[in-house]
Chain A
């Protein structure tokens, strides 16, 4: 088997995922939150592909493709929302956008 051991791939994936999670939890700008989400998804994708290579099974890669498609759609919806919020001249701050409080 070529290339580094699978543990390296998983370590990178875990690092990416943790970075993204921290970003989602800590940043207040919706734009950055969306970016962080993408990083989380890519971390997950990397883990999927690494495992697929490791197992010799293509279904993990196909799963990763599906995740990319979903991520693209999600970005479209998320950016659309952000544009709509900006047009209403509301603060771009997720802590202040809490109209759905029960």
Chain B
């Protein structure tokens, strides 16, 4: 069992190393196949682990395996330890399964890019890092995986390194995540000092009477989770991360990495349960994020950014659930979200691919006529996102909303916020759908899609787009919706977005909750009445959202309300970037300028300058001694000799 888990971990790493080491001796296509095969191997191994674990009784489903002792300091030892239990297996299946589909999709999407090999090596590296994160058997290995996913995310956001925007976005993501990594590391230091162990689950038992200590640890962990999952207040990096290739957005910034924060909270739930205020804070942050992100998504004009804000909003739901102790519901939503959000991104990728890299939805419209498969799959993804039965989101999201009922006034506030979020979800998801797919093709779409095949003239007409967005794949023919390797993963994900939710229907059957029960027993157990109330409200509001979107953007019976101030606030993303700029960047620059002016220049540079000037002066004086007259030198020597002799005689 653990052998299979090790294979699952090693396969993508081997793939990444192989591609890196073979370099240009293999073709780009071979590199793509190696990457895909290694991730598929990881998925197969994860399936084996799952089946074996399934065959055991629930109490025994936890297997740790230590490869070797990694480091030891005094009485503190950390091994390269993995833990196979229901939670990690669930994440392994999601990561490697969705990962496989997306890497396979990339074969078509990245075809013709100059640096395909590098891309596929990074993708395999990412899958390895993410698997290490979820399989880690102690917090240190988890932190290693945590850092490695941050690294691969950085590398892949900045994959098109000719674009300054991509480099800036990559740096931003890395810096924002570094804040979370730092708070996590601090939490780990406290745990090491207090518990002498980072292993699961020993590390979690802090014991009573250490209230403030547990709160600190939980806050540190929450900081890491918030940064990685792009929740308020560290959310600003995720929209910018859309500068990366679309499959990267689908895999890293929608399906897997950004949900690592939820996984962390569920994994370390004993700590959060000992610090209830921090856990409530997590729920509150999730609620705030889902609301703000839903609002911002209403005004975005970049197809990928709309979906990015929707991702933030959906992770907000997961945080809400995890903060309330509804761990199984959060993990279930994490799974369905991975399906339908990857689907939305990949379908958007098909559109972007067909439109030669264009991402502005204002130029789109009527795309559906030329791309029927994309249209229907995108519709499925949107319905799953809004939570319309029988699509996946309905089953998972409504359980989370139901969990907030019966939890006092705080839970009621969260309940209302989550319901408003549902309305916003319907509105922004179908605004996007109606603007892009139905209706008459816009002139721009007409030019790209309706000519049958891509002529040289069309490429030339959009030369400036090609220059600003150097997608290597613009050069080849893409009549219609793209090659089979791209449409097939989209179709598989569409099927999963429909049936993926049927695994668990809380009032009737709940295998996901039962599966996770040994690891993370839920604190909440909504009654059937609460489930029904939540579902009815959520469904109604979601439908109202869709209806409003239809009135505004499809039938256009209502004019889109223009409220200049609100619009500006939303387009500016609630001024978070500006606020951080004002609060952190500007003071830092001012401080640096001040130091440069009042310390660096007068003190540091000044002192060095003075010393150098003094030396120079001394040199100018001493050079006068060098007369060039031999007889002067001889006289000096003779005189010195006389002086020395006189001194000798006198001293004696």
Contacts and interface: CB of A to CB of B under 8 A. Distances in A.
B626 interface: yes
A102 B623 contact: yes
A69 interface: no
B636 to A, nearest CB: 11
Contacts of A101: 626-629
A97 interface: yes
B631 interface: yes
B508 interface: no
A55 B225 CA distance: 93
A61 interface: no
A33 interface: yes
B638 A102 contact: no
B629 A98 contact: yes
Interface in B600-652: 622-631, 634-635, 638
What band does the interface of chain B fall in when counting residues whose beta carbon is under 8 Å from A? 10 to 19
Nearest to A102: B626
B634 A100 contact: no
B623 A95 contact: no
A43 to B, nearest CB: 13
B631 to A, nearest CB: 6
Pick from A21, A33, A102 the residue with the most CB of B within 10 Å: A102
B632 to A, nearest CB: 9
Contacts of B630: 33, 94, 97-98
Contacts of B634: 24-25
A19 to B, nearest CB: 13
Contacts of B622: 102
A98 B638 contact: no
Contact of B628 (A21, A24, A100): A100
Interface in B246-271: none
B625 A102 contact: yes
Given A100-B626, A102-B624, A102-B626, A94 B631 contact: yes
B641 to A, nearest CB: 9
A38 to B, nearest CB: 15
Contacts of A102: 622-628
Contact of A25 (B624, B625, B638): B638
A6 to B, nearest CB: 19
B626 A95 contact: no
Contacts of B626: 100-102
Contact of A95 (B625, B631, B638): B631
Nearest to A97: B630
A64 B626 CA distance: 33
Contacts of A97: 628, 630
B631 A99 contact: no
Nearest to B638: A21
A97 B629 CA distance: 7
B620 to A, nearest CB: 10
Contacts of B638: 21, 25
A99 B634 CA distance: 17
A94 B635 contact: no
Contacts of A25: 631, 634-635, 638
A4 to B, nearest CB: 25
Nearest to A99: B628
Pick from B622, B623, B624, B630 the residue with the most CB of A within 10 Å: B630
Nearest to B623: A102
Interface in B515-534: none
A20 to B, nearest CB: 11
Contacts of A24: 631, 634
Contacts of B624: 102
Nearest to A95: B629
Contacts of B623: 102
Contacts of A98: 627-630
Nearest to B629: A98
A33 B631 CA distance: 9
A57 to B, nearest CB: 23
A42 to B, nearest CB: 17
A51 B593 CA distance: 75
A84 B626 CA distance: 23
A94 B633 CA distance: 11
A99 B631 CA distance: 14
A95 to B, nearest CB: 6
30 contacts: A21-B638, A24-B631, A24-B634, A25-B631, A25-B634, A25-B635, A28-B631, A33-B630, A94-B629, A94-B630, A94-B631, A95-B629, A95-B631, A97-B628, A97-B630, A98-B627, A98-B628, A98-B629, A98-B630, A99-B628, A100-B628, A101-B626, A101-B627, A101-B628, A101-B629, A102-B623, A102-B624, A102-B626, A102-B627, A102-B628
Given A25-B635, A102-B626, 19 more contacts: A24-B634, A25-B631, A25-B634, A25-B638, A28-B631, A33-B630, A94-B629, A97-B628, A98-B627, A98-B628, A98-B629, A98-B630, A100-B626, A101-B628, A102-B623, A102-B624, A102-B625, A102-B627, A102-B628
Interface of B: 622-631, 634-635, 638
List the 8 closest pairs (A to B, CB-CB), nearest first.
A102-B626, A98-B628, A101-B628, A102-B623, A100-B628, A94-B630, A24-B634, A98-B629
